[in-house]
Amino acid sequence: NNNNNNENENENENDSDSDSKDNNSNNNSNSNSTTLPLPPPPPLSLPPSSSSSTIPLSTYQGRHTTSESLTSSNGCSVIAFILTIYHIKSEHGVTDQAAVNVIDNLSPSILDSIRKICGIDKYGFVAGIEVWGCLQGILPGSNGQDDQFFEVGGNILDKEATGRLGEAMAATPGKSACAFYFCDHLFCITCTPTDGSLKFQVLDSLPATGSNPGAFGTRTTCNSSEALQTHLQQHAMNKFEYYSEYLSTVKETEWSPNNHKDCRNFQAFIC
């Protein structure tokens, strides 16, 4: 599990983990004219999907500090796993109000406890697998046993890999959810059976890559597994185009399952 790469704290108002580079990274996707073109499929951009829609939440991680001087800054892994468990345990899934409450009120103290258990400093990143193990005894209604989740991963630009994610979530009886790790950041994906079909929702405690300072986290609703695939690939392409070091990797190297540091890798913890 390579999601123990450290995320950097952004001490500005819009705190983030890997996305803290947004305010000082050059958007320079054309900086190297000699690089090879991105091999198809997919193209570097995708047409907008009519089967998905994105709305802002009214907060983002790190926006507020509690009376105990605790914050959810750099706490995407904890937020994602709490939202995953909340979706499974609650009758109606994660409402906007519930998501905001997790980000602003519930996660800071849990994040602080997990960091102390793991010996991580106040603003350090906690790997997903460590979060899951520590949640037992901390989060009410969760026993955090390892056998309660399984993993799906691969190349986020590979439709077969992201398709396996949708299939695995759809095959889980009733509601399912996962904490999704990609490029040193985690967000939550939920799956709910609705009128004979499936509705996927992506709950991200960070603004979209390239957003203006002060932008909020997002909820994206995808009305099919195919719409989820398109959203995840577009999310990845936006990030690759924004960070020149990622774009160079995508253009110049082939993805290999043996290269655990490849920026195209994703890992989903499904329960």
Q: For residue 143, is pLDDT > 80?
A: no
Tokens for 57?
């939440």
Greater confidence (183 vs 25) lies with 183
Q: For residues 66 and 260, what is the distance between their CA atoms, to the nearest angstrom?
A: 36
- Per-residue pLDDT of 249-268, as tens digits, reads 999 999 998 898 999 999 99
Greater confidence (5 vs 189) lies with 189
7 DSSP 8-state letter: P
Tokens for 5?
């790469």
CB 217 within 8 A of CB 224: no
In this structure, is the dihedral angle defined by the CA atoms of residues 180, 242, 212 and 184, taken in order, positive or negative?
positive
Tokens for 264?
């195209």
pTM above 0.75, yes or no: yes
- The arithmetic mean of pLDDT across residues 46-50, rounded, is 50
Q: Which band of pLDDT confidence, cut at 50, 70 and 90, is reported for residue 139?
A: low
Q: Which band of pLDDT confidence, cut at 50, 70 and 90, is reported for residue 138?
A: low
Among 27, 172, 7, residue whose Cα is nearest residue 79: 7
Q: For residues 108 and 185, what is the distance between their CA atoms, to the nearest angstrom?
A: 17
Q: For residue 201, is pLDDT > 50?
A: yes
For residue 9, the SS3 value is coil
Q: For residues 1 and 251, what is the distance between their CA atoms, to the nearest angstrom?
A: 25
Tokens for 203?
């709950």
In this structure, is the dihedral angle defined by the CA atoms of residues 98, 78, 25 and 54, taken in order, positive or negative?
negative
- Per-residue pLDDT of 74-88, as tens digits, reads 999 999 999 999 998
CB 205 within 8 A of CB 217: yes
Pairing of strands 52-56, 218-222: antiparallel
Q: Which residues pair with 180 in a beta bridge?
A: 187, 268
Among 247, 208, 185, residue whose Cα is nearest residue 6: 185
Q: Can you spell out the DSSP letters for 91-121?
A: SS---HHHHHHIIIIIHHHHHHHHHHHHT--
